[in-house]
Structure 1
């Protein structure tokens, strides 16, 4: 078994800060191995970002560019609130486990 990787709070805070700066999302949810403290040496940071946006592809590209140099691999899943409502019970998508097992890292006021 590989050594566990630790995601320190400072790095996570920086990732969230950069995402909020660019995307101004409604909510950011940390899910996967980082959310439950089981990151391996090759794990990435999985984030579900909920944002009302017409062109999520362009916004996702902007966020990835802003995350360059943050020091860990980040995997973003950008969805609209309508996507969350529509697919929250689907076993085929990451929305359901992210909502069920994830940790809310940011929520707009």
Structure 2
């Protein structure tokens, strides 16, 4: 069964909104939408890579605010490159799957 396609203008809107909210080094769409297997209930899974010292639980707030009018569910995770490096080779870690199956939408 084919997934619901996400329109390129929507992806561009997401990237532009995220760029106004912070200084991401990379934005990756992952999960069912990136794999082309999304359904009407699917959300946008976004990994934002950013060089920050802020605690992980506070990092996504400005990005969530930037996408609040998107009208579609989203899950935004913000990781540093150091954290990704530490976890990327751990079997069954979500970051491994996100990096392997994800679609890079933006890279500085």
Mapping 1:44-59, distance limit 5 Å: 44-55=43-54, 56-59=56-59
- 1:11 Cα deviation from its structure 2 partner: 1.3
Over the aligned positions, Cα root-mean-square deviation in angstroms equals 1.7
Cα distance in structure 2, aligned partners of 1:92 and 1:49: 20
User: 1:36 corresponds to which residue?
Assistant: 35
TM-score scaled by length of structure 2:
0.89
Matches of 2:69 and 2:28, distance apart in 1: 21
Q: Which runs of 4+ in 1 moved over 6 A?
A: none
Q: How many residue pairs were aligned?
A: 107
CA-CA distance at 1:48 after TM superposition: 1.0
SS of 1:5's equivalent in the other structure is coil
- Residue of structure 1 in register with 2:61 after alignment: 61
The more displaced of 52-61 and 14-23 is 52-61
Where do 5+ consecutive residues of structure 1 fail to align? none
Q: Output the TM-score relative to the length of structure 1.
A: 0.88
